[in-house]
Structure 1
Amino acid sequence: MAKDTAVAVTGKRKRDDALSKRNGAKKPATGPAVNGQKKKSTAARPDARIGPVKQKNAGKASKPITAVTKEPYDDGHLYVQIVAGSYERVLHGFSASIPRHLLQTTPDTSEPAATDDVTFSDTFLFAAHASSVRCLAVSPPTESDKRFLATGSSDERINVYSVSTAPPKANGKPSLPSLAANVVVENPRNRSLGSLTHHDRAITRLDFPAKGKLFSAAEDNTIAISRTRDWTMLSSIKAPIPKAQGRPSGDTAGPGETPAGVHDFAIHPSQKLMLSVGRGERSLRLWNLMTGKKAGVLNFDRSLLTQAGEGKFGSGEGRRVLWNAAGDAYVVGFERGAAVFGLDSKPKAVIRPSPPTKLHQSRVLKLGSHEVFATSTEDGRILFFDLDFPESETGAEQLPSCTCVAQLGGKAAEISGRIKDFEILRVGAESSVTLLVVTASSDGAVRLWSMPDTLNAVESAAADAGEQVKSVPSPPVQVGRLIGTLETGSRITCLGAFIMDGKVSGDAANGDDDIATGADENSEESD
């Protein structure tokens, strides 16, 4: 019986070997026949998922599959993430792809640059708050692949988001359809982290002085300090309620209440001191961040307010306050002007736009070897004032005026709508730095400008050491050129922007959107 079984198995093996040889001699089929036609192999399609390797490819080395063969930010374009808040409760995020040759500024700015080369892609668009978005802030750059975005609104809430720093993938999934002309590019790394309810009034100011702290101010006269690691409020600074001095027209305080709230605050570069200005009071407050207590109060003199543009019917309230880079001077902005103070809290100079107009957002930056105060105006300009001013004579009541050395936009660029907010980004290496200016107007237009890092007007003014301020000031130099415009269709109130310098990795075939990080997303950040 065992012998018969062995013979049967041997015969079966011979039949199988003969069948394998007969099938191997034929040309391999490309697939099963459907309606008399052969189906194409899925292996020929590059977008198909790849299964087990066949025997005919066993001797060949498998080619790795990557999402991007070349990093997007090295393909001759600069990618910038822009976020805008509006009165319509909408938080609009979009990325701008800027060819780097447009950032090569030339002295001749009479010819407008082509605006068709800059492309915009919508990243997110949704109703973030129950009321208008009043302010937002973006955390400083770190080794991580993300940044924090905080938005404040009149609904007393602070929404916190995690925004990816990776540019849109060049060969990713097809763009989603939209009614607008912009391409819709989603990033799964952009996500909401929740809401903070530290305040019981409208949020007026947000700031990330460091990667681990968030400062927030509101109309309840409170400045809260939160930790970004777990979003816990570490401390709260309470400013006193100002005394009632009449009810100005257009005031939004409730019946029987006094106008109150923190307009703005500025943290010293050492992060040990803080300045704040508020509603209903003509003063500046100094805070000690080491103890969380008030360190002093500076009342604005009537003569100073008059020179700074606050007339008889002006409120005299400080609207903006900023430190310079060295921390040895600060600027207090009013409705139609500003004043420069030293560490001794004495006014050194005033800033007045010409022709007179309202001021909105302000920044302090370096242009060449000079420090410049940049401010946006009601008539669609960004004015640059040189903060290197001559010292006033002892006992002189008239303060010197800072010279306006350059302007961007305005009637010369056919822009008349007010610029509500703007951001200035430095692009390039130390040898060749270009400034990218992102402006947001109340009519819903977001414009991108390219301008040099050094101003010829500033350098020429520095050469005139004998006469620092001319008796008849010359008109400011028109700088910058328009390289891109996006119509958002919303009344923009605040703006934030940063350069997207993250790295993309993953499997494009599987649709992965992983980002190569320098630090884990869930890692704890230092205090």
Structure 2
Amino acid sequence: MAKLASKKSEVHSNKRARIEVTKSPKRGAPTSRPQAKQITTVEATSKPQKPSKSKGKEKAVDSTTDGGSLADESTTPPRTFKIVTGSYEKLLYGLEGSTTVSDGEFGYEIHIKPIFAFPAHVSCIKAVAASPNGGKWLATGSTDEIIKVWDLRRKKEIGGLMHHEGSITHLNFPSRSHLLSASEDGTLCLFRARDWTVLRSLKGHKGRVNSVAVHPSGKVALSVGKDRMLRMWDLMRGRGSASTKLGKEGELVRWSTDGSLFVVQAQSTIDIYDTTMTLIRTINHPSRLHDVRFCKRVNGEGEVLLACAEDKKTSIYEVTKNDVPLRIVGIMTGHTNRVKAVDTLAISLPASTPSGRSTTTIVTTVSSDGNVHVYDMAALPLDSTSKEVLEIKPAASYSTKGTRLTCVTLADGEVLTSAADLAKKRKHDEEVESDDSENDDEWAVEDQDQDQDQDQDQEEEEEEEEEREED
């Protein structure tokens, strides 16, 4: 695949973002040798949004956020899933996961298989994120200062967002139609996925922004950076709403699943805050931490906190609402080097599962050892009163043969709820295969021809024409 140049783009005062759009070759193009991708530049300008008129002192809601929130409504968990992980070696790996009925402990097995691997950037990949509720969009960020956007369904590169003037440090899809990015240039950017327009450029940090997290409501976000500040942002108005000094450089910030708590991780400590930004308690982990994430329990109510660390393990902390010190109730083992990142996803199980369970939650971790592990949260029992720490082993694994993995994201796969849905999917797959029989492996080898579907090209040209007419 042809690479985009890592050239800094100018940041304009009117919030312009340059998007490099990849055009696929037309039908009938010579296939004797790979063709370089044609790159065109599109200027997408964010237009000021007028606040809605309302009585009293109610806050104005940005009309771009579909009713005052970036959050998507929950959908049926997918039957399959995708794992995408980036590496220091610039390689992007994609895996596909599924479940089948078995005679095992839970009555089902989890399987993962590779679907692509290729150099996606010209420098180290630092962040990956997939859009929720469908998993159509994939965004990857690198030290080359570019955010690459991919269409996971069509296995196609859309282009590069070159708004930041520093390495990309964090990416987050608060909804399937919005992307939030953080960079070493000290800014946060909110993009609209429909046309990749910059809706908001949030400035306030002095120096590198390390992490950003959006509240489950989609209305506010938190960020931490090199300036040792914790900042809260009003995404509806596009400005800062609160800030507090941490006294140390926060490396990561995460909301709990219900939005009632959040944590800030720095080195080997985890500080837990409530929504008023008041420090509640501190966890001193026995090893250097690299990632933390809240996860709902499968057995019983409540949630746990997953902590990936230098000790080659992912520790599971029981989260309690009272003042009882948090303790480790389980550890996820299997890696032979530091665990760098973790992500979670709820999935549906086969209807014929002997246990009668309809859903579960998977946990995916990646490590500097080059391995991808998938764990099943169903292995964590309801009873947490035992003082013995439970060891949970991987339910499925994949080896990249020593690639130093840095980040990971989980994306929805297929949601099959009926025989009609299955028949529809099969018909769609047959049509795609008929249009382009060579499209299956286009991400497996560098510099291979892109998808040659003429109908898709025509659709893209029509969309561009509509945008020009609107402008």
Query: Do these two structures clear the TM 0.5 threshold for a shared fold by scoring above it?
Result: yes
Letter matched to residue 228 of structure 2: R
Kindly indicate whether the alpha-carbon contact (under 8 Å) linking 1:105 and 1:450 is maintained by their aligned counterparts in 2.
Answer: no
- Among 209, 225, 232, the alignment partner of 2:174 is 209
How well do the aligned residues superpose, as a CA RMSD in angstroms? 3.1
Distance 1:510 1:210 in 2: 27
CA offsets 1:95-144 (integer angstroms, 9 cap, x no match): 245534387538xxxxxx99xx94623x22222111111001000014xx
Unaligned 5+ residue runs, structure 2?
Answer: 1-77, 350-355, 416-424, 440-455, 464-471
Aligned position for 2:284:
352
> How far does residue 83 in structure 1 lie from its aligned partner after superposition?
1.4
Of 364, 371, 375, 1:438 maps to 364
Q: Mark the runs of 5 or more structure 1 residues left unpaired by the alignment.
A: 1-76, 107-112, 165-188, 242-259, 302-315, 392-399, 462-473
2:337 maps to 1:425: no
CA distance in 1 between partners of 2:164 and 2:280 (Å): 36
Q: How is 1:292-331 mapped onto 2 (pairs within 5 angstroms)?
A: 292-300=238-246, 316-331=248-263
Q: Give the TM-score of the pair, scaled to structure 1.
A: 0.60
Contact 2:296 2:303 in 1 (8 A): yes
1:287 paired residue among 217, 222, 233: 233
Equivalent residue runs for 1:388-403 within 5 Å: 388-391=320-323, 401-403=325-327
Alignment deviations for residues 58-101 of structure 1 (CA, whole Å, 9 cap, x no partner):
xxxxxxxxxxxxxxxxxxx9643221111111112232455343
Specify the alignment match of 1:263 in structure 2. Answer: 210
- Distance in 1, matches of 2:397 and 2:120, equals 26
Q: Is the 8 A contact 2:205 2:225 kept in 1?
A: no
Where does residue 151 of structure 1 map in the other structure? 140
User: Which residues in structure 2 correspond to 1:65-144 (within 5 Å)?
Assistant: 79-101=80-102, 104-105=105-106, 118=111, 120-121=113-114, 123-142=115-134
Cα separation, 2, equivalents of 1:237 and 1:361: 24
Q: 1:357 to 1:239 in 2, by over 3 A?
A: same
Deviation, structure 1 residue 423 = 2.2
Other structure's SS at 2:136 match: strand
8 A contact 1:335–1:358 mirrored in 2:
yes
CA distance in 2, matches of 1:403, 1:197: 43
Aligned pair 1:405/2:405, yes or no? no
Distance of 2:358 and 2:379 partners within structure 1: 8
1:490 matched to 2:403? The reply is yes
Alignment of 1:372-383 (within 5 A): 372-383=304-315
Deviations 1:466-495 (A, max 9, x none): xxxxxxxx3522234443333344211111
Deviation at 1:387, TM superposition (A): 1.8
Amino acid at match of 2:329: V
2:133 and 2:412 in contact (8 A); partners too: no
Q: Partner residue of 2:192?
A: 227
The answer (yes or no) to whether the contact 2:255–2:262 under 8 Å persists in 1 is yes
In structure 2, the residue matched to 1:272 is: 219
Distance 1:510 1:151, change over 3 A: closer
Q: What is the percentage of aligned positions where both structures have the same residue?
A: 31
Aligned position for 2:42: none
Quick check: 1:105–1:434 contact (8 Å CA) kept in 2?
A: no
3-state secondary structure, aligned to 1:152: strand
| Conserved? CA contact 1:120–1:486, under 8 Å | no
Residue of structure 2 in register with 1:182 after alignment: none
Cα 1:104–1:512 change in 2 (3 A) is: farther
Question: What one-letter code is carried by the residue in structure 2 that aligns with 1:383?
Answer: S
Please list the CA deviations of residues 264-306 of structure 1 after superposition, one character each: whole Å capped at 9, or x if unmatched: 1111222222111001x333112222222222221236xxxxx
For the 8 Å contact 2:128–2:171, the answer to whether it is kept is yes
Residue 449 of structure 1, CA deviation = 2.5
Q: Which piece of structure 1 moves more, 194-203 or 439-448?
A: 439-448
Structure index of larger Rg: 1
Q: Distance in 1 between matches of 2:325 and 2:432?
A: 62
Counterpart of 1:37 in structure 2 is none
